Chain A
Amino acid sequence: MEILLQLVVSGIALGMIYAVIAFGYQLTFATSGTLNFGQGEALMLGALVGLSLVGTIHGGPYLGYWLMIPVVVVFGALQGIFVEWIAVRPAIRIKSEFGWIMSTIALAIIFKNVAENIWGKDVLPFPSPLSSEPFTVLGANVQPMQVAVIIGALAIMFAVEIFNRKSIYGKAVVATANDRDAAGLMGINTGMVITFSYALSSATAAFAGALIAPLTLTSATMGASLGLKAFAVAIIGGLTSGMGAIVGGIILGIAETATGFYLSTGYKEVPGLVLLLLVLAVKPSGLFGKAAIKKV
C-alpha cells in the first residue's frame, strides 16, 4: 500500500509538470487554433534564465529564488511574443494550415542551439530554495519541492482561468476563442489577443521551468522530451479543457511510475502512448474535450 502511495505521489508530481506545459498548448490553441511546438524549449529557457539569476554561473547570484520567478515569467512572456511574431503571425495572415507547425519547430531548434551556446551542453544543478530532506505522508516520502511544484502548477493554471473569466481582457480572450471572426467584428483586436495568448502560454512554461529545475537538473536538452509528453497529455485530456490537462497529466505521470515499478522500467513510456492511441481512436477530442464540428 505504501508503495502504491509512493508511486501515486511521485506520479502526481511528475504529472503536474506535464499538466502545466499542456496547459500552455491549450492557451494558444483556444485563441488561434495554433500550437507552439517549442513549448518545451520555453520551459528550458525559463529554467536556464532562472539559473543565471540565482546560480553562480554568470557571476550571480543576483536574486533570491522567489524574486527570480517574476523575472522569469516576464522573460517567458517576451519570448512567447517573439515566437508569435516570427513564427505564427505570418502563417495566420496567409491562412496557411500547417506553416506554423514547421516554423514553431524551427524556432524551438534555434532556441535550443542558442541555449547550448550560452549555457553549454552540460547538465547543471539548480540550487533548491527548500530543504531537499523528504517528509513522510502516510508512509510515502515527499520532498517539499515536489509539493511546491504541485501547488505552483495549480496556482498558475487557476490564476489564468480566473483572469480569463473575470477580467474584461480575459473575456476578449474567451470571445476570440469562441469565434475569432465574430469577435473581430465586435471590435476586439483578435491579433493582439493571439499575441497575448502566446505570451501567457510561454510565461506559464517558463514559470514551470523555474519551478521544476531544482528537482530535475537543468540543461539545454531538458525541454524536448517534456514538451513531447505534455503534447500527449494535451491530446489525452483534450485541447480545449484546463481540467483535461490536469487529469491527463496525472494519468500519464502515474502510468509511467506504476508501469516502471510493476511491469519493467524498460516499458515506462509505453502505457502513456498506448493511452494516447486509445484516446485518439475512441474519443479524438480528448477525455474532457468538446468535439469540434468543422463546417465546410
Chain B
Amino acid sequence: MNFKVKALVAGVVLGWSMSGMAAEPIRIGVSGPFTGGSAPMGVSMRDGVRLAVGEINAKGGVLGRKIELVERDDEAKNERGVQVAQELINKEHVVATVGYINTGVALASQRFYQQAKIPVMNNVATGSIVTKQFANQPENYIFRNSANDTIQSAMIVEEAIGRRGFKKPAILADSTNYGQLGREDLEKVLDKKGVKPVAVEKYNIGDVDMTAQLLRAKQAGADVVLTYGIGPELAQIANGMQKLGWKVPIVGSWTLAMANFIDNAGKNGDGTRMPQTFIQNPDTPKRKAFIDAYVKAYNPPGGRMPSAVSAAQGYDSVYLLAAAIQQAGSTEGPKIAAALEDLKAPVEGVVATYNKPYSHTDHEAINFENTKFGEVRDGRVVQAK
C-alpha cells in the first residue's frame, strides 16, 4: 500500500468517525413521578415532552443532531430525585434536564445541576422558591415554564375575594412542602387584601376522613374553601363536604384539574375552579394540532388528557430548550443558560408564544397574562366564564 492509498483510507475513516460524532444525539434528562398520586401529572408531562422531541427529530433535530430522552421515575420522593439527578449528570451525561412535578423533589435535586452547570427546565413544579434557590449565585441554572405559586395564590385570592366577593375563606392544605408553601403564599396575599382566613387546616397524604377539618371550616362560617394539595385528597375534601351536607365553592391551585380529583370527586367536584395555563380546548390551530397528536399517540380514556397543563408545559419546555441550544450553537450548560436568558427569536408553544421569556434575573416564563381560570364541569376542565 503506498502512501496515497493510506492517506485516502485514513481520510475516509476520519470522515466516518466525524460523521459518527456529528450524529451523536443530544441527551436530555426527564425526571418526574410516573407512579403514585402525582403520576397523572408526571406521565402527561413526559408524554408532552416525547411529542415535542418526536416533532423536532422529524424535522432533523437541533444543530443537525437528534434529541434523545433519558427518562427516570423520581416517584415524587426527594431522596429518589437526588439519585436520579446524580445518575443523569454523572452516568448519562445529559446536556439539560426537563421535569420536576413536585416542589420538594425539585428543591432537593437541583443543587447537583447547579454545581455541574447544567440547566434545569422546571415544567410543572410550582413552589415560588424553585427558581430562586440559587438566585444569589452569579449564574442560575434553574428555569421554569409553569405558573408559580406566587402567581397562582394571587389569582386564587383575586377570584375568590375580588371577583366573587367571598368574605370568609378557609384554607385546606396538605402537609407536604407543596401544600404548606402554597398555604403561606395564600395567607400572604389574603393579608394584603386585609382578609384573615377564618380557618387554616392541614391534612396528610392518604387521609380518608376530612370530617374534622371540614367541620372546623364550617363552624368558623367559611363561605369559600381554598385548597392546596393533590388529586386524591382534594377529592376526599369535595366528598367530605357532601358527607356533611355542606356546600360552598372550592377554589384552589391548578391540581384541582387532575384526572384523579375529577374522577374520584365525581359530581361533588363540579364548579371547582383553579388557575390553568392550558385547557384541553382547541382554540388555536397550534393547540388543536397538539391536542390531536396527544390523543392519537397516547389514547387517554375518554379522549381526556389526564393533566393537560402538565402535557402542554412539558411540550413547551422542550421547544424553549431546543431554541436555546440552537441559538447557543453548543450543548455546553453555561452557553445554553446564557441563550435562554437572551432568546432572540420568539418561541411558539401551546401555552403561549414566548417572547424573550427569561432574563438574567427573571427565570419565570409564565406570568399573569398567560394563566386563566379553569372550571370542572361534567368530568372535564373547561374555561371558566
Contact = CB atoms under 8 A, between A and B. Distances in A.
Interface of A: 3, 6-7, 10, 14, 121-125, 132-134, 136, 141, 143, 146, 215-217, 219, 221-222, 225, 256-261, 264-266, 268
Listed residue (B206, B211, B266) with the most chain A CB atoms within 10 angstroms of its CB: B211
Contacts of A260: 211-213, 216
A221 B36 CA distance: 10
A146 B245 CA distance: 14
Contact of B266 (A6, A121, A124, A125): A125
Interface of B: 35-37, 39-40, 175, 201-203, 206, 208-209, 211-213, 215-216, 219, 231-232, 235-236, 239, 242-246, 260, 263-264, 266
A121 B35 contact: yes
A123 B232 contact: yes
Nearest to B232: A123
B255 to A, nearest CB: 14
A141 B39 CA distance: 34
Listed residue (B242, B243, B246) with the most chain A CB atoms within 10 angstroms of its CB: B243
Nearest to B209: A14
Contacts of A219: 232
Contacts of A216: 208-209
Given A125-B264, A257-B209, A6 B244 contact: yes
Contact of A136 (B175, B219, B236, B245): B245
A257 B211 contact: yes
B212 A261 contact: yes
B211 A134 contact: no
Given A121-B35, A121-B36, A141-B245, A217 B211 contact: no
Q: Closest 7 CB pairs between A and B?
A: A260-B212, A123-B232, A10-B211, A141-B245, A216-B208, A261-B212, A134-B245
B244 A3 contact: no
Given A6-B215, A10-B243, A122-B40, 4 more contacts: A121-B35, A141-B243, A143-B243, A260-B211
Contacts of B216: 260-261, 265
Contacts of A134: 242-245
17 contacts: A6-B211, A6-B215, A10-B211, A14-B209, A121-B35, A123-B231, A125-B235, A132-B242, A136-B245, A141-B245, A215-B208, A217-B208, A256-B209, A257-B211, A265-B216, A266-B175, A268-B212
B209 A10 contact: yes
A266 B212 CA distance: 11
Contacts of A222: 208
Contacts of A266: 175, 202
A265 B208 contact: no
A140 to B, nearest CB: 9
Contacts of B40: 122
B203 A3 contact: no
Nearest to A17: B208
A219 B36 CA distance: 10
Contacts of B209: 10, 14, 216, 256-257
B232 to A, nearest CB: 4
Contacts of A10: 209, 211, 243
Nearest to B265: A125
Nearest to B306: A122
Contact of B39 (A7, A121, A259): A121
Contacts of B263: 125
Given A121-B35, A217-B236, A265 B202 contact: yes
A265 B236 CA distance: 15
Nearest to A216: B208
A221 B206 contact: yes
Given A125-B264, A217-B236, A3 B215 contact: yes
Nearest to B261: A123
Nearest to B231: A123
A141 B218 CA distance: 13
A222 B266 CA distance: 20
A3 B219 contact: yes
A124 B239 CA distance: 14
A225 B215 contact: no
A141 B244 contact: yes
Contacts of A257: 209, 211-212
Given A121-B35, A121-B39, A125-B266, A265 B213 contact: yes
Given A7-B215, A10-B209, A260-B211, A122 B39 contact: yes
Nearest to A10: B211
Contacts of A146: 243
Contacts of A124: 264
B212 A265 contact: yes
B235 A217 contact: yes
Contacts of A259: 212
B340 to A, nearest CB: 34
Contacts of B212: 7, 256-261, 265, 268
B174 to A, nearest CB: 11
A215 B240 CA distance: 9
A76 B246 CA distance: 37
A219 B35 CA distance: 13
A240 B220 CA distance: 43
Contact of A123 (B201, B203, B245, B260): B260
B303 to A, nearest CB: 16
A29 to B, nearest CB: 26
Contact of B37 (A123, A125, A136): A123
